Chain A
Amino acid sequence: MSAGHVSFWQRRSTQDRVWKILTISLLCLLALVFVAPFYWSLIASVSDLDGVYASPPRFWPEKLHLDNYPRAMTVLPFHIFVFNSFYVCICCVTGQVLSACLVAYAFARMRWAGRDVWFVIMLSTMMLPKQVTMIPHYIIFLNLGWVNTLKPLIVPSFFGGGAFFIFLMRQFFKTIPLELEEAARLDGCSNFRIFWDIMLPLSAPAVATISVMSFIAHWQDFMGPLIYLSSFEKYTVSMGLRMFQSIYGSFPHYMLAASNITLIPVLILFFLAQKYFVQGIVLTGMKG
């Protein structure tokens, strides 16, 4: 081979290196862009009023005003909002996980007339915009005397937990080998025993996934509390933040300190359950 000639493999490896450098620099740039909003709100939350309205704007605070955080938490009774949110979330997670698992087991492993038709119907409910049922729900709960209580936010969770969670659990149950179940059945186990003692313990990762997803979804829910809650003793954190905005909207540093605090539970849960999240997505594949 002459000196001026570059072999196919050499050419490939240089090309590979160029692509790799390009990819890494793009990834770094994009990561910076995605992190920037967090950073901007974080520095604003530890500035004072002069700091957030400084001209030219500052990229880091002159002095750390960490006391913004406790102050933001006490100007409004945030402990009440946090308590309400935790209460709603824990009830909803319990209801959604238990009922979604039961129903998913029926769809994954039991044979009953009409199962496949019901399954298609259930999946198609995912496409129904919730605005269609929002108004009737309100009128029903109003007549039950549940408006301005936390019940309208909690009770529906106990009825199946939503098509997505049922689908996710069903996909997971389908991956568990049938032999385990057959052996238990020969030993005389009932369906419920098989479900409770075999399927659920083996599905811990999937259960963890939907628990975390359900918790975060209810923690962040805004429209439900907005429609049903009217007095601040019943507010959840998202309503608390809205109240904060309408009263202290011109104090961005307090506003953002309060916002950041409400993100803490979500962040902790996300980092604890991160790998399950990814698995959940892979599992449902969501290939239609």
Chain B
Amino acid sequence: MARKNKIRERYRWHENVQGYLFAAPWLLGFALFLVGPMLFSMTLCVVKWNGITPISPDNIDFVGLAHFKKIFTEDNYFWTSLYNTAFYSLFSVPLGICTSLFLATLLNAKIRGISIYRTIFYLPKVIAGVATIMMWFWIFNPEFGGFNVVLRKIGIVALGDGLLEHIPALGAFFERNQITWPPAWLADEFWAKPALIIMSLWGAGGGMLIYLAGLQNIPAHLYEVAELDGAGRIRQFFVITVPMLTPTIFFNLIMSIIGSFQVFAQSFLMTDGGPNNATLFYVLYLFRKAFQQFEMGYASALAWILFAIIMALTMVVLKSSKLWVYYEGEKR
């Protein structure tokens, strides 16, 4: 009996060692590239240092919570960048979810050539990078860019001209805020953020694929029953499709919020935060502090504030999920 236990124990020990050996790359990476740097970053928050000079008391000043105090009370750029990022997130996330859900619903219909449409919608998401940013930079050109050319062609510009002329309040608003019409997009303080939001919608195909997978898991009998009860297509969409997809929407919502708060390359390459800081996003500001002004302590404090904001938003979504996310097999 005792011998049997001993063998079993040795076997279990052997299994543990092997398990940890296989997982070792990630565990090592977790310690070296995550936990270590996070602790390092926490200590950086309370010091003033440029990150380049050797680590010695001569180069590094302990400042306590002074960075945080300065960020919250004196730093206008912090508030501007936070406002810009929140604005971007507030519009790009819900609009992105609606667009991808809409595309997925259309694609779920039994139509020939679905895979071609799927490719067309998904491609922009896959190839998003510096090259597509350059592409959009040209498209948003107020004079020669494709966007305004099309707006002129289909009469939106003329329609806007008419509205501005006939609704005095609107005209006065545009005049007071010096808003251009037709939109100068990236060159105009008012239109720059909407331009980047429009550009983000072009990448809605990623979410679309996830929703499409979710749609195909919804049992067909639900729709059959609804049809017999006389529910139309639009009603079916809101009563069956949306509730059944809420777990997918929930996950996508969290990931999109996290992603939208990290928006960087677009504004760095197209506007460099301008015009008049209208596209100075949080990560762009953090990047400037860290790698252009070399205030590593201050930038680390900014990074932790970003982390806290993202965590708080995730928690809010998580807490709210009880109210709107439907899990199958759960009584409501």
Contact = CB atoms under 8 A, between A and B. Distances in A.
Contact of B15 (A111, A121, A133): A111
A142 B248 contact: no
A37 B16 contact: no
Interface in B126-166: 126-132, 134-136, 138-139, 141, 143-146, 149-150
9 contacts: A36-B150, A57-B146, A125-B34, A158-B25, A263-B127, A278-B118, A278-B209, A286-B251, A287-B251
A263 B131 contact: yes
Contacts of B88: none
B63 interface: no
Contacts of A161: 25-26
A271 to B, nearest CB: 8
Nearest to B114: A27
B62 interface: no
A25 B4 CA distance: 72
A286 B120 contact: no
B210 interface: yes
Interface in B266-308: 268-269, 283, 286-287, 290-291, 296, 299-300, 303-304, 306-307
A127 B310 contact: yes
B119 A274 contact: yes
A252 interface: yes
B258 interface: yes
A103 to B, nearest CB: 4
Contact of B16 (A113, A130, A227, A256): A113
Given A112-B18, A260-B131, A262-B130, 5 more contacts: A38-B135, A57-B146, A220-B128, A245-B269, A263-B131
A220 B129 contact: yes
A132 B106 contact: no
B323 interface: no
Interface of B: 15-16, 18-20, 22-23, 25-30, 32-34, 36-38, 40-41, 44, 51-52, 103, 106-107, 109, 111, 117-124, 126-132, 134-136, 138-139, 141, 143-146, 149-150, 202, 205, 209-210, 213-214, 233, 247-248, 250-252, 254-255, 258, 261-262, 264-265, 268-269, 283, 286-287, 290-291, 296, 299-300, 303-304, 306-307, 310-311, 314
Contacts of B307: 128-129, 131-132
B227 to A, nearest CB: 8
A67 B116 CA distance: 31
User: Which of under 10, 10 to 19, 20 to 34, or 35 or more describes the interface residues of A?
Assistant: 35 or more
B144 A53 contact: yes
B44 A131 contact: no
Nearest to A53: B144
B119 to A, nearest CB: 7
Given A285-B213, A286-B252, A41 B139 contact: yes
A121 B252 CA distance: 20
Contacts of B261: 129
Given A131-B262, A137-B33, A281 B210 contact: yes
Interface stretch (A16-24, A86-94, A179-187, A201-209): A16-24
A159 B138 contact: no
A175 B251 CA distance: 23
Given A159-B28, A238-B129, A105 B22 contact: yes
B146 to A, nearest CB: 4
A188 interface: no
Which 7 residue pairs across A and B have the least CB separation, nearest first? A112-B19, A159-B29, A160-B26, A220-B129, A136-B37, A106-B22, A40-B146
B250 A139 contact: no
B121 A30 contact: yes
Nearest to B105: A23
A278 B114 CA distance: 13
Nearest to B247: A287
A259 to B, nearest CB: 4
A112 B16 contact: yes
A134 B111 contact: no
A138 interface: yes
B121 A134 contact: no
Interface in A236-262: 237-238, 241-242, 245, 252, 255-256, 259-260, 262
Contacts of A23: 106, 109, 111
A241 B34 contact: no
Given A127-B314, A216-B126, A110 B15 contact: yes
B29 A160 contact: yes
A19 B129 CA distance: 36
Contacts of B130: 220, 222, 237-238, 241-242, 259, 262
A107 B38 contact: no
Given A26-B106, A30-B121, A31-B117, A256 B126 contact: no
Nearest to B122: A277
Given A30-B121, A118-B23, A41 B33 contact: no
Contact of B264 (A112, A223, A252): A223
A151 interface: no
A41 B134 CA distance: 9
A37 B135 contact: yes
A35 B119 CA distance: 11
B152 to A, nearest CB: 9
